[in-house]
Structure 1
Amino acid sequence: MIDHVYISVTDIDKSLAFYSEALKPLGWSIFGNYDSASGPDSVPDLYGIGDDTYGKRKAVGSSIWLRQRKPGETGLYLGIVCDTNELVDAAYAAAIKAGGIDEGKPADRTYFAPGYYAANVADFDGNRLEFVHKAWNPKRHQ
């Protein structure tokens, strides 16, 4: 399941208006921003739009985070749900073994939220994957 996607845009306000209106019929709405001052330099300011279950802890939800595009930037950032920290570790190890580029070893990312455990890799074209376990998400598999 896809947890979140970062979309790099040239105009945050215009893009927030577009995505929030386009996704409103599907139950999506703007839910907040992430101020990069509270995290590492590699994490930009983010502007969140989530589905009707995102953040409510009833089910695993999905979100889109808009970020200001940098000159020459391309590629996709995709967060993939993992049901445990061990699965984050396993997916990260498999991606590195397959030739992925380390962009953040598995670790707690408390600057996002307590219980947020993730690892980051890039592929050969600069697309990025984040394997993420959010402790508050209900388990998807038995």
Structure 2
Amino acid sequence: MREEISNWLRQSEEDLDKARILFENKKFDGVAFNCHQSVEKSLKALYMLKFNQGEKGHSIIHLASKLSVPQEMLSRVRDLNPEYLVSRYPDIAGGVPADNYDEEIAMRHFKVAKEVLEWVKKQMQK
């Protein structure tokens, strides 16, 4: 595997670990953002492997569609997609982003990010 691809994958793992640490500290908005980052970076790693080029942008729906993510996983990715912005910006969140998240939402996003990372790793072994 090319170094740039393994770098994207490793950073995806680091972002997921940050999400775990933030979850333990009840910083649920940070969990949402880092889960989005983990999914984005793992999908970009797979995209580079499959298409031999990078992909710009932050839409994990776009990446997941291009990579033929299973339909049931794609619906969960759709739920996570807005978190790139909503989890960080008060004007987009309609208030303080931190106030919009709880343990249930954070755990749902964490499970999706973990699922996508595991799926990407399996795809890379094919």
Tell me the TM-score normalised to structure 2 length.
0.23
Larger CA Rg, structure 1 vs 2: 1
Structure showing the higher strand proportion among its residues: 1
Of Structure 1 and Structure 2, which has the larger fraction of its residues in helix? Answer: 2
**TM-score scaled to structure 1, two decimals?**
0.21
